[in-house]
Chains A and B, each alone.
Chain A
Amino acid sequence: GESVGLHLPTLSVQEGDNSIINCAYSNSASDYFIWYKQESGKGPQFIIDIRSNMDKRQGQRVTVLLNKTVKHLSLQIAATQPGDSAVYFCAEIQGAQKLVFGQGTRLTINP
């Protein structure tokens, strides 16, 4: 069946370092992907998205990479700050109708 999973449930990085959060998906029909950030006690927040006709997209301090060959998605956060501490979810959307989330990775920033 379809599934979106994350390679690591937790990730701890030093403040100022770059963070890389990974995600694997299994449905090759997925055509749109989103990364969300969820802070404690809050709902998810959109970070960045990418369509299947792209392999890289950059935002402010964040970059998403898509490798359709191995069905892999990653989120890179540059110069990680304490405010980046949160759970990060990837999500895949199939035909603009079905949304499937990954389990989430908890990112912890060490001072």
Chain B
Amino acid sequence: KAGVTQTPRYLIKTRGQQVTLSCSPISGHRSVSWYQQTPGQGLQFLFEYFSETQRNKGNFPGRFSGRQFSNSRSEMNVSTLELGDSALYLCASSGSGRAFGDTQYFGPGTRLTVL
């Protein structure tokens, strides 16, 4: 069974631009969650989608948004990029009704650099 895939793996943008990241969950998984990882703030939860609906949300500004499609693939969008948005963005999918736990698997992440 293929794992969680994220595209692109690396991305360079400039301040003020917007970016869309994509995540394909493990086949059959309906929960997809997104995380930001930076050296300063560590790992932070962005949001979680289940059956095309945002179910949980972390403490990030409205510039960060996401959506989930009927095939469970998810996209994350960041508008008006700031230097501080440079980070590794991780996606995880879960095969149970729970977003977190032993059925959750992470992808390798997308490294976003904002110049």
Contacts and interface: CB of A to CB of B under 8 A. Distances in A.
B99 interface: yes
A99 B104 contact: no
Contact of B98 (A96, A101, A102): A96
Which of the four size classes fits the interface of chain B? Answer: 20 to 34
Which of the four size classes fits the interface of chain A? Answer: 20 to 34
A43 B109 contact: yes
Interface string A95-111: 01111111110000000
B56 A98 contact: yes
Given A43-B106, A43-B108, A44-B90, A102 B42 contact: yes
A34 B58 CA distance: 17
Chief secondary structure at chain B's binding surface: strand
Interface string A49-69: 100000000000000000000
B92 to A, nearest CB: 7
A49 B94 CA distance: 15
Chief secondary structure at chain A's binding surface: strand
B45 A46 contact: no
B115 interface: no
Contacts of B45: 98-101
A43 B90 contact: yes
Given A43-B107, A44-B106, A49-B101, A101 B44 contact: yes
B58 A99 contact: yes
A69 B34 CA distance: 32
Contacts of B55: 97
A14 interface: no
A42 B108 contact: yes
Interface in A2-46: 32, 34, 41-46
Interface in B76-107: 90, 92, 98-102, 104-107
Interface of A: 32, 34, 41-46, 49, 89, 91, 93, 96-104
